[in-house]
Amino acid sequence: MNALSIGQTRAGGVCIVTLSGRIDSTSASDVMAELTRLLSSGEKSILVDLGAVLYLTSAAFRALLVATNEAERKAAKLALCNLAGHVRELFEMGGLLDVFAIHNSREEALKHLAEPRTP
Amino acid sequence: MAHVVDVRIRNDISDIGIVRDTLDKLAREFRIPVHALTQLQVALDEVVSNVIKYSWDDGGQHEFLVRITVRPDRVDLEIFDDGREFDPVTALLPNHPAEGRQTRPGGLGIHFIKKLVDRFTYERIEGRNHTTLSKRCEVGAGVQRSEK
C-alpha cells in the first residue's frame, strides 16, 4: 500500500528519477541501489523528483546522502526537486535543506543541471 | 476508553511493514488526521528500526512487541523488547544533524522522533526496554464504540 515505486525518464543529458510512495527503512535501500547503479553506469546528471513521495524517514535521507557523496566522488551532479508538504517539512525538521541541491520544480532543476559543473 | 492493538514482529526490517500497515488500517478505521498519521508513521519507522538494528547483536532471530493504542485525543506507540539496555531518549544526539556525518547510528532518527511526537519516554523494566511515543491528535470517530 503506497509502496515505493521508482520511475525513470530522460531530458537531454539528465536522468530523471521519479520516486513515489513511502521511503522508509524497508525501501530506502532500493533508492540507494538505483542511484548508485545509475552513477556507476556513468550518469553525470541525475535529478530526483520527490513530488509524489508521501514521506521519508532517516533511512531515506541516509540513502540520498550516500548517493550525493558518491556523485561528488564521480564528478557527477545529483539534485532534488518538488519537495512539498510533509516531505519539505521533514527536510526542514532534519536541518537538511542545505545539505542537498534542491530546486522548486523540474524546469528550474533542469536549467541548473544543464550548466557546467562548478568545482 | 481506548482501542489497543498488539503486533508481535521479528527483528527483521521487512517486518516493519506489518506494523506500518496496522497503523494505516487503524488510521482509516478511526479517522486519524493525515498529518498526524504521517508523523506517527515516520516516528514508528525510526523507533522500530532502531530496535531491530541495535537491540541484539547475536545474529539470532528475536521477537518483540509493538502496541498501538488509539485514544480520543492521542495515539500511543509502545515498544517492548528484551534486547540490550538502551535509552534512546537520553542518547547523545548530533548538535546539528546536517553537519553530523560522523554521528552515532540512529542520531537523525531519534532527532526526528523528538520533533514528531509530543511524548517520548523510556524505562527498563524487568530486563526489558519499554519505549513509549505519544502523539496528540483529534481522533475522528469510533474509539469508544470499538473498545475491546
Band of the pLDDT at A117, cuts 50, 70, 90?
low
Q: How many helices (H) and strands (E) does chain B have?
A: 3, 5
Contact check, Cβ <8 Å, A55/B20: no
Domain locations along chain A? 5-114
Cell numbers linked to B67: 502496541
Query: Per-residue pLDDT tens for B16-52?
Result: 999 999 999 999 999 999 999 999 999 999 999 999 9
Contact check, Cβ <8 Å, A24/B20: yes
pLDDT of B147 over the 80 cut: no
Contact check, Cβ <8 Å, B13/A25: yes
pTM for the predicted model, two decimal places: 0.91
pLDDT of B96 over the 90 cut: no
pLDDT of A93 over the 70 cut: yes
Query: Per-residue pLDDT tens for A55-67?
Result: 999 999 999 999 9
Work out the average pLDDT over A5-12: 96
Query: What is the homologous superfamily of the domain A5-114 according to CATH?
Result: STAS domain (3.30.750.24)
pLDDT of A102 over the 70 cut: yes
Phi, psi (rounded to 5 degrees) for A83 = -80, 120
The Cα of A62 is separated from the nearest Cα of chain B by a number of Å equal to 9
Interface test with A, best of B18, B42, B54, B133 (most A CBs within 10 A): B42
pLDDT of residue A115: 78
Chain centre to alpha carbon of residue A113: 13
In this structure, how many other beta carbons lie within 10 angstroms of the beta carbon of residue A36? 16
Q: How far apart are CA A1 and CA A55, in angstroms?
A: 13
Chain B partners within 8 Å of A95 (Cβ): 96-98
Q: Which domains does chain B have, with CATH numbers?
A: 3-136 (3.30.565.10)
Chain A partners within 8 Å of B48 (Cβ): 25
Work out the average pLDDT over B94-117: 69
- What separation in angstroms does the CA of B66 have from each of A21, A68, B19, B92? 24, 34, 7, 24
pLDDT of B104 over the 50 cut: no
Site of grid cell 511526537: B117
Residues of A with CB under 8 A from a CB of B: 1, 22, 24-26, 54-59, 61-62, 65, 86, 90, 93-96, 98-99
